[in-house]
A and B are shown apart, each in its own frame.
Chain A
Amino acid sequence: MISKQMLKFIGRRLIFLLITYIVATTIVFILPRVIPGNPLNQILSRLSQVAQANPEQIRAAEKTLMEQFAFDKPWYVQYFDFLGNALKGDLGTSVSYYPRKVLDLVIPVLPWTLLLLLPATIVAWFLGNSLGALAAYRRNSWIDKGVLTTSLIVSQIPYYWLGMIFIFFFGVKLGILPVGGAYSQGSFPNWSWSFVLDVLKHYILPFASIVVSAMGGWAIGMRLMVIYELGNDYVRFSEALGMNDKRIYKYVFRNSLLPQITGLALSLGGALGGALITEIIFNYPGTGFLLFRALTSLDYPLIQGIFVILIASIYLANFIVDFIYAVIDPRIRLGQEE
């Protein structure tokens, strides 16, 4: 069932993603060493301001930083050390949460981000595309004009601002939904029904913020794709053969959806950025929240670690989407000769 072409396609994407990942991590790594003004000094002065409590802690942190950022060794040695450690699962030690390790800090929060980002993006993708297709089928009707105008506006609303509005309206004014957090204060994560329901209640608003806003963008794009697709020869031929409209729309929808899958992959990076900031607005304990803390305290090892993991996740997701695309589109799966 798997053609040579499909393997070539997958193989090429894999190599591309690997190279891009290496480039990205190199950039992440090189940046602090390249930016003018020694960030190390900043961190240290920051730490001495912030950590009023423990001078010992500062010294320990200093030591860790020196080790991790090993400014005494040439940068490529540092880089390979870093890579080597990363492969072993050691992304360094956090400075602001010293002595906890970066990986141990990121792993617990990553699922919350994925729980928010992935379902929201996929639902937005599907709903938005369906709406866009509907608008295109009923070109120039009030449905079309309505969908287009609304989408043009809504697609430009930042997720986080929509979140603010939702919190204000539903949380503060109406008081029917929680104003933040992933679960009620004081409860501990467990698998009981009450906890799950609690999480869901807290999930609705951040989820909705992402879905409503992202939907707009997909609707606009899909509408264009379908309009274009409706002008294709097979539509005219199928009509002339007496094929009914419902079936033809299914054809058009299916063919227009394929490039949207690629679009989904490309949009993940941007969606992630928006989701991270939305987390901050909602005090949602995900990676975004952790990143925010890391940024404010200039905890560079943590920042670096978060980025490395996030970028890897994006590329992994990209690859999965590409794979799905290769399987779904018969032209790639079976290898188009032309």
Chain B
Amino acid sequence: MSESLVKIENIRAYYKLKNREVKAVDNVSFEIMENEIIGVVGESGCGKSTLSNVLLNNIIKPLTIVGGRVLFKSNGEYVEISSLTREEVRERFWGKEMSLIPQSAMNALMPTIKLSKYVEHLAQSHGIPKNELLKKARKRFEDVDLDPQWLNRYPFELSGGMRQRAVIAIATLLNPQLLIADEPTSALDVVNQKVFLKILLEMKRQGIVKSIIFVTHDIATIRQIADRMLVMYAGKIMEISPVDKIVEKPLNPYTEGLLNSVLTPEPEIKKRGITTIPGTPPNLIEPPSGCRFHPRCPKAMSVCKEKEPKLVEIEPQRKVACFLYSEERA
């Protein structure tokens, strides 16, 4: 039985603007277990990027944590990082215990210094001997299929795909427990995507990182890499489930809609064709009452408009927030 690495409890993270609030993450609770890859899926604007920032405690105005807490297991103990300041979390955790792979690797690396220099600076910032980290970097480059020679070059001298691999190598240099990948494959072509996912899996397999949380709008990639999938909509969790189970039988109508809108070369899909979910994602300043999805849900009932469904465990390991599965019906 593996333990939780991160516990997110009733987190509410809003963007406080002049006279309104954008409720980007609204009462979200889940756990990231050790040794798992969890995918967070949703349309643009569903709050998943804000979630990444909450995990890191990268809270900068106007983003504010209005309620709830985030617990991170560090050295066997759970630390409430949401109660620390951004600077404290940054100093103690960023790079060392949790790290980030950003969306665009193109510009993620400091363009005007050599990669080796960058690694040296990283060592300096963390108080580690430079040579030690450089040695590690060389080995890590090999792990991601990059000739260590490239460390002595500038980022622009590497191709796009190589840069992506270099970013992974550098992001995991200090063996962080949690790796947050925020839309890392959006800007990649299919071939590089496959390579990227393969490398991520290797990182986990070798124990370089313990767990990975993969945030994306692309369900197809999640299926290839994640153990569990978490579906977000309008700041709320719709469903959490192991990947194979959720694909086989999605419980929440929103999940079903999402899966139906993806084109993959499976015979059932070819038969069924793809459908889209009608309507547009809601306004997070004044979200719909009750279940946020009810205006677009083909299976909406009258209770869905009035009350908010709670996230309940329906089957072992599967949680869903939908009145279709609870006793409360019209």
Contacts and interface: CB of A to CB of B under 8 A. Distances in A.
Interface of A: 232-234, 236-244, 247, 251, 254-255, 258, 329-331, 334, 336-338
A240 B102 CA distance: 9
A243 to B, nearest CB: 5
Nearest to B180: A240
Interface in B90-147: 90-91, 93-96, 99-100, 102-104, 106-113, 121-122, 124-126
Given A233-B104, A234-B111, A254-B112, A241 B99 contact: yes
A227 to B, nearest CB: 15
Contact of A331 (B56, B58, B156): B156
A238 B100 CA distance: 10
A266 B113 CA distance: 26
B167 interface: yes
B313 interface: no
Given A243-B122, A331-B154, A336-B156, A238 B110 contact: yes
- Which interface class (under 10, 10 to 19, 20 to 34, 35 or more) fits B? 20 to 34
A181 to B, nearest CB: 45
A240 B56 contact: yes
B126 A247 contact: no
Contacts of B106: 233
A334 B109 CA distance: 17
A237 B100 CA distance: 7
A237 B94 contact: no
A241 B94 contact: yes
B217 to A, nearest CB: 19
Contacts, number: 81
Contacts of B100: 236-237, 240-241
A331 B111 contact: yes
A241 B122 contact: yes
B304 interface: no
A239 B94 contact: yes
The A interface is mostly helix, strand or loop, or mixed, namely helix
Given A239-B94, A241-B99, A242-B96, A334 B126 contact: no
Contacts of B96: 242
A233 B105 CA distance: 8
Contacts of B230: none
B26 to A, nearest CB: 25
Contacts of A255: 110-112
Question: Which among A239, A241, A247, A329 has the highest number of chain B CB atoms within 10 Å?
Answer: A241
Nearest to A333: B154
A146 to B, nearest CB: 22
Given A234-B107, A237-B108, A242-B122, 20 more contacts: A232-B107, A233-B104, A234-B108, A236-B100, A237-B171, A240-B171, A241-B99, A241-B173, A242-B90, A242-B91, A242-B94, A242-B95, A242-B96, A242-B126, A243-B125, A244-B125, A255-B110, A330-B113, A331-B111, A331-B156
A234 B111 CA distance: 8
Contacts of A258: 112
Interface of B: 56, 58, 90-91, 93-96, 99-100, 102-104, 106-113, 121-122, 124-126, 154, 156-157, 167, 170-171, 173-174
A176 B90 CA distance: 53
Nearest to A246: B125
A243 B102 contact: no
- Chain A to chain B: the 9 pairs with minimum beta-carbon distance, closest first: A242-B95, A240-B100, A233-B107, A241-B95, A237-B108, A242-B94, A244-B125, A234-B110, A243-B125
A290 to B, nearest CB: 43
A334 B157 contact: yes
B265 to A, nearest CB: 33
B165 to A, nearest CB: 15
A266 to B, nearest CB: 21
A247 B125 contact: yes
B112 A239 contact: no
Contacts of A251: 110, 112-113
Contacts of A331: 111-112, 154, 156
B102 A237 contact: yes
Contact of A338 (B90, B94, B156, B173): B156
Contacts of A239: 90, 94
B207 to A, nearest CB: 20
Contacts of B122: 241-243
Contacts of A254: 112
B158 to A, nearest CB: 10
Contacts of A244: 125
A238 B122 CA distance: 9
A329 B112 contact: yes
Contacts of B58: 240
A187 to B, nearest CB: 49
Given A233-B102, A334-B154, A241 B107 contact: no
9 contacts: A239-B90, A240-B56, A240-B99, A241-B170, A241-B171, A251-B110, A255-B110, A331-B156, A337-B157
Given A234-B107, A240-B95, A241-B99, A337 B112 contact: no
Contacts of A338: 156
Nearest to B170: A241
Contacts of B109: 234, 237
Nearest to B109: A234
A95 B104 CA distance: 67
